Amino acid sequence: MSKIQIWHNPRCSKSRAALKVLEENGIEPEVVKYLDVPHTKEEIKNLLKMLGLKSARELMRTKEAIYKELGLKDVTDEEKLIEAMVEHPRLIERPIVIKDGKAVIGRPVEKVIELVKE
């Protein structure tokens, strides 16, 4: 079976639901508490590719207070957006499930099921 990883925030109900779906399907994923584990710009760039996203902003939680505090709404430089996520991981959307070089944001949780059934 392929290794499956989840970028998880235990305080988030959607993240807990995604983890539960994986476990209910007999999958014991590698759980990465991404708020506690620092990530590099290269890891974020790689994640963007796996997710098939065109812009770093698509991976960001734009309603977070820190997004507004940093004035990211007006930032168009992709490198600066990625740097913001490295510095402030709370900006990263969650949960993210990774399998075989592909990834999904687990909102809705059905996306997680589709990925693991591939």
Does an H or E element contain 87, and which?
Answer: helix 78-87
Active site residue 57: no
Which tokens sit at 20?
Answer: 């539960």
Which tokens sit at 86?
Answer: 């490295």
Contact partners, residue 79, CB within 8 Å, separation at least 6: 41
Report the distance separating Cα 118 and Cα 115, nearest Å.
5
Per the residue annotation, which of 2, 3, 8, 12 is the catalytic one? Answer: 12
Residue 76 identity: T
Q: What amino acid positions are annotated as catalytic residues?
A: 12
